[in-house]
Amino acid sequence: MATMHILSHSPFADSRLASCLRLLGAADALLLSGDAVYALQPDTANLQALQLMPASVALYALEEDLAARGLQAPERAQVVDYPGFVELCTRYTKVNSWL
Protein backbone atom coordinates (compact mmCIF):
# COMPACT_ATOMS: atom_id res chain seq x y z
CA MET A 1 0.00 0.00 0.00
CA ALA A 2 1.68 3.21 -1.15
CA THR A 3 1.32 6.25 1.09
CA MET A 4 1.81 9.93 0.39
CA HIS A 5 3.27 11.66 3.45
CA ILE A 6 2.64 15.40 3.81
CA LEU A 7 4.90 17.55 5.96
CA SER A 8 4.17 21.21 6.60
CA HIS A 9 6.28 22.06 9.67
CA SER A 10 9.84 23.39 9.64
CA PRO A 11 12.42 20.61 9.87
CA PHE A 12 14.41 22.89 12.18
CA ALA A 13 11.60 23.08 14.77
CA ASP A 14 11.05 19.41 15.58
CA SER A 15 11.84 15.83 14.51
CA ARG A 16 8.85 15.15 12.23
CA LEU A 17 11.00 15.00 9.10
CA ALA A 18 13.40 12.49 10.64
CA SER A 19 10.51 10.38 11.92
CA CYS A 20 8.82 10.45 8.54
CA LEU A 21 12.00 9.46 6.70
CA ARG A 22 12.37 6.40 8.94
CA LEU A 23 8.85 5.22 8.07
CA LEU A 24 8.86 5.76 4.30
CA GLY A 25 8.17 2.67 2.23
CA ALA A 26 9.79 1.99 -1.13
CA ALA A 27 6.68 3.06 -3.09
CA ASP A 28 5.77 6.04 -0.88
CA ALA A 29 5.98 9.75 -1.62
CA LEU A 30 6.80 12.80 0.45
CA LEU A 31 5.24 16.21 -0.19
CA LEU A 32 6.80 19.24 1.48
CA SER A 33 4.51 22.20 2.01
CA GLY A 34 4.47 25.25 4.25
CA ASP A 35 7.63 25.65 6.31
CA ALA A 36 8.66 22.06 5.51
CA VAL A 37 10.09 23.35 2.21
CA TYR A 38 12.96 24.79 4.30
CA ALA A 39 14.29 21.21 4.27
CA LEU A 40 15.32 21.92 0.66
CA GLN A 41 17.76 24.67 1.61
CA PRO A 42 21.18 24.03 0.08
CA ASP A 43 24.00 22.65 2.21
CA THR A 44 21.81 21.41 5.07
CA ALA A 45 21.61 18.02 6.76
CA ASN A 46 17.89 17.96 5.94
CA LEU A 47 18.51 18.25 2.21
CA GLN A 48 21.22 15.62 2.41
CA ALA A 49 18.80 13.23 4.15
CA LEU A 50 16.19 13.85 1.45
CA GLN A 51 18.72 13.25 -1.31
CA LEU A 52 19.69 9.94 0.30
CA MET A 53 16.14 8.61 0.09
CA PRO A 54 15.78 5.67 -2.29
CA ALA A 55 15.04 6.77 -5.85
CA SER A 56 11.74 4.87 -5.69
CA VAL A 57 10.44 7.35 -3.08
CA ALA A 58 8.97 10.38 -4.86
CA LEU A 59 9.74 13.81 -3.42
CA TYR A 60 7.42 16.74 -4.13
CA ALA A 61 7.42 20.37 -3.03
CA LEU A 62 4.54 22.81 -3.25
CA GLU A 63 5.38 25.56 -5.74
CA GLU A 64 3.59 28.35 -3.89
CA ASP A 65 5.44 27.64 -0.64
CA LEU A 66 8.83 27.54 -2.36
CA ALA A 67 8.12 30.89 -4.01
CA ALA A 68 6.87 32.46 -0.77
CA ARG A 69 10.16 31.55 0.93
CA GLY A 70 12.42 32.40 -1.99
CA LEU A 71 13.59 28.81 -2.42
CA GLN A 72 14.20 26.64 -5.44
CA ALA A 73 13.75 22.89 -5.48
CA PRO A 74 16.76 20.69 -6.17
CA GLU A 75 16.60 18.24 -9.08
CA ARG A 76 15.52 15.47 -6.70
CA ALA A 77 12.22 17.24 -5.93
CA GLN A 78 9.30 17.63 -8.31
CA VAL A 79 7.50 20.95 -7.95
CA VAL A 80 3.69 20.81 -7.92
CA ASP A 81 0.94 23.42 -7.73
CA TYR A 82 -2.31 23.04 -5.79
CA PRO A 83 -4.14 21.13 -8.55
CA GLY A 84 -1.11 18.81 -8.74
CA PHE A 85 -1.27 18.35 -4.98
CA VAL A 86 -4.91 17.26 -5.25
CA GLU A 87 -4.04 14.87 -8.07
CA LEU A 88 -1.26 13.34 -5.96
CA CYS A 89 -3.75 12.64 -3.16
CA THR A 90 -5.75 10.48 -5.56
CA ARG A 91 -2.67 8.63 -6.82
CA TYR A 92 -1.76 7.02 -3.48
CA THR A 93 -3.72 4.48 -1.48
CA LYS A 94 -3.24 6.41 1.76
CA VAL A 95 -2.42 10.01 2.62
CA ASN A 96 -0.71 10.73 5.94
CA SER A 97 -0.41 14.32 7.13
CA TRP A 98 2.24 14.78 9.81
CA LEU A 99 0.42 17.26 12.03
pLDDT of residue 45: 96
Coil, strand, or helix at residue 96? strand
Mean pLDDT of all residues in the chain? 97
Give the Å distances, CA to CA, from 50 to 3, 30, 36, 55: 17, 10, 12, 10
Confidence label for 58 from pLDDT (cuts 50, 70 and 90): very high
More confident residue, 99 or 34: 34
pLDDT of residue 41: 97
Going from the N-terminus, what domains does the chain have, and what CATH number goes with each? 3-97 (3.40.1260.10)
pLDDT of residue 77: 98
* Backbone φ and ψ of 57, nearest 5°: -90, 120
Closest to 51 (Cα-Cα) out of 84, 28, 75, 23: 75
Whether the predicted model's global pTM rises above the 0.85 cut: yes
How much is the average pLDDT of 65-87? 97
